[in-house]
Amino acid sequence: MDGLSVVIAARNESARLPALLAQLAEQPALVREVLVVDGGSRDATALVARLAGARLLRCTPGRGRQLALGAAEARGAWLMLLHADVRLPRHWSARIARAIGAHSVQPAAAPARAWYFDLAIEGRNPALRLVELGTALRSRWLQLPYGDQGLLLSRDLYDAVGGMRPLPLMEDLELVQRLRRQARLRSLGADLQVDGSRWRRLGVWRTTLTNARLRRAWRRGEPLELLERRYYGR
């Protein structure tokens, strides 16, 4: 078992997924396999994944469920967990290879490490830059990157912390909270661009406030199924 397995949670992303898969296909020496886990798409997402040569898996919607399934099926010694609406930065493969290489030579007694990308939200609204800055500070100081920043970690570390749990929402925060107890989370030093459509549709500050309220409700113990309906407007 060696190489990097890239696990992508996708749902109705046929317009954005091809560019991400093309980026990954450019680095066959690094990327052992790409697994696209489709959460009930009604568009051509599954067809796009197949045509690109990715392994296609299917499950009920929910990024936690999708990423948990993909990670369970992955065969690589390293995992990179991504959402389907992202664009990798230039020279992304060199940064990942450098992180993996640094891990291989660190002393056995050194703390484990995992890595994330910095957040870059698609759009020119200056308020988005403030969101990105706040995200960078939170990720570095509190060791709390979220799922839309991607996550790179070894299979051994993933298994040691119990892996991704198939939650309908907050799966990223729940995993990172367990992960930071056993590892240091480091930035890869490059921006991962995410789709800005939700930020444009709801507005930057409304989106930020909604996300904060959902996280607070989750910490207070509100049922995740209820929060999932609230997040997706069901």
In 3-state terms, the chain is what percent helix, strand and coil (to 5)? 45, 20, 35
pLDDT for res 1: 53
pLDDT in tens, 74-99: 999 999 999 999 999 999 999 999 99
pLDDT in tens, 124-155: 999 999 999 999 999 999 999 999 999 999 99
* pLDDT over threshold 80, residue 46: yes
pLDDT in tens, 156-170: 999 999 999 999 899
Helices and strands (H, E) in the chain, number of each type: 10, 7
* pLDDT over threshold 70, residue 112: yes
Q: Is 77 helix (H, G, I), strand (E, B) or coil?
A: coil
Identify the band that residue 234 occupies on the pLDDT scale cut at 50, 70 and 90: low
Q: Listing from the earlier edge strand, what are the strands of the sheet with 4-10?
A: 55-58, 31-38, 4-10, 78-83, 151-154, 112-121, 183-194
What residue type is 177 in one-letter code? Q
- Contact present, 68 and 165 (Cβ < 8 Å): yes
Distance CA 49, CA 14 (A): 9
pLDDT for res 39: 96
Identify the band that residue 109 occupies on the pLDDT scale cut at 50, 70 and 90: low
What residue type is 138 in one-letter code? R
Of all helices (H) and strands (E), which one includes residue 10?
strand 4-10
Neighbours of 78 (CB within 10 A): 25
Query: 4-196 adopts what CATH topology?
Result: Spore Coat Polysaccharide Biosynthesis Protein SpsA; Chain A (3.90.550)
What residue type is 6 in one-letter code? V
pLDDT for res 111: 78
Percent of the chain with pLDDT over 70: 97
Averaged pLDDT score across all residues of the chain: 93
Of all helices (H) and strands (E), which one includes residue 21?
helix 17-25
* pLDDT over threshold 60, residue 211: yes
Percent of the chain with pLDDT over 90: 85
Angle between helices 171-179 and 63-73 (to 10 degrees): 50
Identify the band that residue 106 occupies on the pLDDT scale cut at 50, 70 and 90: confident
**Range 38-49 average pLDDT:** 96
Which of the residue ranges 37-46, 114-123, 223-232 would you say has the lowest mean pLDDT?
Answer: 223-232
